[in-house]
Amino acid sequence: MKNKATLILAVISAKIGYQQQEEVLKLAKRFDPTNERTIGIVTHTDTLQRNSEQENILIELVRNQKAQLKLGWHALWNGASQDRYTSEDLCNKKEMVCFRNGAWATLPTCCVGLGALQVRLNRAIFDCMKQYIPDMAGNVEKTISENKAKLEKLGPSRTTIQEKRAYLLGVGSKCERIMAQALNGMYSDGFFTSEAHSGAHDFRKLRSVIRELNDDFAEAIELRGAHRIIIIDSDAGFQNKEAFKREDNPYLDGWKPVFITSRGVEIPGHINQRLVEDLFRIHSKPWEDLVRRHVMTVGEAVEHFVHLLFEYLVDDQVLSALSHSILSPALNKMKDTLSEKLQELTAFMKQGHPQLLGRTYLTQIQKSQSKRQFQDLRRRLGLPLSPNENPSTKTISLGELMRATSSPESPSTQFSAAEIIDQMQAYYDLAIVIFMNNVANLAIENCLLQPLEGIFTSASVVNMDDQHIEDLATEPTAVREQRERLSYQLEKLRTGLSILKSYDIPQSRREGLNIFPELERHCRSKT
């Protein structure tokens, strides 16, 4: 009764006083407050005494004067119990004869008798439902699509070894195609547009997920890759960079920068190159933890993607067999290779002598020295140390400039410390870029993503022996029964969709159509 696409039949029996049955109308009104989809039906009018008060009340009711309903009321003459064995046509004739006598003859013929009720119900149901037919057709189409996807996942019936191998070849071919799209960021297969999965990421779009995680890692290692932030007079550049970090970066959760100053670092004499190396190793200490966290996160994303893909391609039985014998071992091997590669990429941070070839390193040292000297000059001239502050309002005389540039140098110990930091920072700035690119390309791409292309292919199925094929593709009785059930349901749904679409006809053609023959037969049998 809650369903607005249905009719409510409020049945009043003439055997019982009308007042005792008013609860029927109250219940109908509870679910149909505007009385738009309720038809009132008075049964057993043959039991009424002619010209009695009860008969007059019920005739007034059928005239829609006492309890008004937009679809009106209808009266039925049930006849004697022995009439149930009489033919339907004869019963209808007897009923209409009774309604043409006495006070009942004053009622319109469309409001009395079983035949007229069948016509009214057909039209009323269609008028009630026609506004919902597009939605109903849409729901049926959706269910058809879901059933087709389930059947496709089950695959054709497979009893022989040839059928089982053919099934796995089809799975391998689809896997290759979808995997290539996922790795290339070209999401055209239906796998990528099926019902979305919950979570922060749509793991099916693997390339997008990896790119976003790599961006998070790059931002995090740039901001928190240094063990401590070394400040020379001012580090407004880092402050500005830190202020614009993305709030949803998982690698920056709970992190706060630690600042130290180079002043007070007492290193007498000339620069010791080993000291630069040691300082770099301390400075880059957070890299290893960050990169391990990153590759672990990427590994989980890849594993989740693989599970979603094979969940889409095969049924639960085959998924379990594939996971045990192929997918899990392959993923574990990829993780082991990735771990070995990380050890190789981080080894230079723990031992040996870090090397950077070419002029880039020297150029970077000169940039660091120029920046420090420029900051020192600004400080001596009394200019703002932050580059965001505008110094154009201050005029500097030639004498002030000469005094600033000719003032005594910093103490040798402080100068040596600054030189060491310049060299370390230059090496750090170059090494961190190389490290990030090596992690993305040599580790994640080469060890984790590229092997995915061959995790399960048609070529690997061709090379399987018969026993392995049996272990993977043998279907249990429950799967065969499910395929038969889905096929049956799909056939019925397609028939239903065809019928629903046939109802979308011009109003002029609807008149007189027996739209719901099943309902008519149901009404005849029940009444």
* CATH for 96: 3.40.50.300
Q: Tell me which of 93-97, 338-342, 494-498 is least confident.
A: 93-97
Q: How many CA atoms lie within 13 A of 512 on its CB side?
A: 2
Residues 279 and 148 in one domain: no
| pLDDT for the residue numbered 522 | 43
Question: Does any domain span residue 184?
Answer: yes
Question: Does any domain span residue 394?
Answer: no
- Single pTM value for the model: 0.58
CA distance readout (Å), 432 to 202, 237, 280, 422, 429: 30, 18, 11, 15, 6
Query: What is the number of structural domains in the chain?
Result: 3
Question: Does any domain span residue 313?
Answer: yes
Residues 54 and 186 in one domain: no
Report yes or no: 161 and 469 within 8 Å, Cβ to Cβ. yes
Residue 198, judged by CB atoms within 10 A of its CB (0-12, 13-18, 19+), counts as exposed
Last residue within a domain, chosen from 473, 497, 513: 473
Question: Does any domain span residue 401?
Answer: no
Residues 497 and 467 in one domain: no
Residues 306 and 332 in one domain: yes
Residue 80, judged by CB atoms within 10 A of its CB (0-12, 13-18, 19+), counts as exposed
Question: Does any domain span residue 513?
Answer: yes
Buried b (16+ CB within 10 A) or exposed e, 1-29: eeeeeebbbbebbbeeebeeeeebbeebb
Question: How far apart (Å, rounded) are the C-alpha atoms in residues 309 and 307?
Answer: 5
Domain span at residue 486?
135-159+478-526
Q: What is the pLDDT of residues 188-244, one digit of tens each?
A: 898 888 765 544 568 899 999 999 999 988 888 888 777 666 655 544 444 444 544
Residues 436 and 502 in one domain: no
Residues 98 and 187 in one domain: no
Q: What is the pLDDT of residues 285-328, one digit of tens each?
A: 888 888 899 999 999 999 999 999 999 998 888 999 999 999 99
Q: What is the pLDDT of residues 98-148, one digit of tens each?
A: 888 888 888 888 999 888 999 999 888 888 777 778 888 889 999 999 899
Residues 169 and 289 in one domain: yes
Residues 321 and 177 in one domain: yes
Question: Does any domain span residue 387?
Answer: no
Question: How far apart (Å, rounded) are the C-alpha atoms in residues 453 and 468?
Answer: 21
Residues 466 and 326 in one domain: yes
Last residue within a domain, chosen from 97, 112, 127: 112
Residues 37 and 105 in one domain: yes
Question: Does any domain span residue 391?
Answer: no
Residues 214 and 357 in one domain: yes
Residues 431 and 504 in one domain: no
Residue 86 structure tokens: 């009489």
Question: How far apart (Å, rounded) are the C-alpha atoms in residues 391 and 384?
Answer: 7
Residue 402 structure tokens: 């000469």
Question: Does any domain span residue 41?
Answer: yes
| pLDDT for the residue numbered 259 | 59
